[in-house]
Structure 1
Amino acid sequence: MTQHQQLAGLLASIEREMRLLELWQPVPPPPEALASTEPFCIDTLTFCEWVQWVMIPRFGLMIERQAALPASSDIATLAEEAFKQIDADTEALLVLIEEIDRTLRALH
């Protein structure tokens, strides 16, 4: 399995887990929220919104185009902090995000 295929599977699993936890939003945020220049759109989106509306689409495009993937990733550190604010069992979701970090680091 290629890294692109592995990443695609992880993204699908993350979406599935977010839906199960009712963290998946039915309506996108306003365009100006997505246009943030801050890392992870921290000033305009929650972490889960960023995952849904920024991370998954961007990785999806890279996968579709077979583009080079990032050389490193530390999304799990932010996820761990963000999930402390969520009243749900996010353990499985955190494991999936940690696996994205490991997958991207394994590329290089």
Structure 2
Amino acid sequence: MDPRILDIADHLLLIEHELHAQGWWSDVAPTPQALASSVPFAVDSMSFDQWLQWIFLPKMKEILEKGLPLPNASGILVMAETVYVDRPEQSRELRRLLAEFDQLISPSA
């Protein structure tokens, strides 16, 4: 088993918790069409917060639960920095967690 699995799982829970803490968690799922977006981060059909909740977290949980290969890289922090440029204080903890996720997912971690 990849030694990063437990750390990554913990980080996914922390990211989810932070989305809840900021009020960026939604009880209403995006439409099936929005979820089917093939554009990076689904920017054409949902907010970054929604993408984290409805695509990123479920996909990463599926990868961990099924023992699928981990991605070789993650550039999620770069997107977060762009999205939250107008909310630097409010998004600080989420960006920190996403930066740590990027480091964990890197094969050299």
TM-score when normalising by structure 2: 0.91
Residue 96 of structure 2: SS of its match in structure 1?
helix
> Percent identity of the aligned residues?
30
Output the CA distance in 2 between the equivalents of 1:72 and 1:2: 16
Residue 49 of structure 1: SS of its match in structure 2?
helix
**Deviation per residue, 1:41-75 (Å, 9 max, x gap):** 11001111000000000000000011110001110
Unaligned runs of at least 5 residues, structure 1: none
- The aligned residue for residue 71 of structure 1 is 72
Output the CA distance in 2 between the equivalents of 1:58 and 1:45: 16
Paired residues of 1:3 and 1:107 also in contact (CA < 8 A) = no
- RMSD after superposition: 1.8
Unaligned runs of at least 5 residues, structure 2: none
The letter for the 2-side match of 1:19 is H
Deviation at 1:104, TM superposition (A): 0.8
Output the CA distance in 1 between the equivalents of 2:81 and 2:50: 15
Q: How does 1:19-98 map to 2 (within 5 A)?
A: 19-86=20-87, 89-98=90-99
Give the count of matched residue pairs: 108
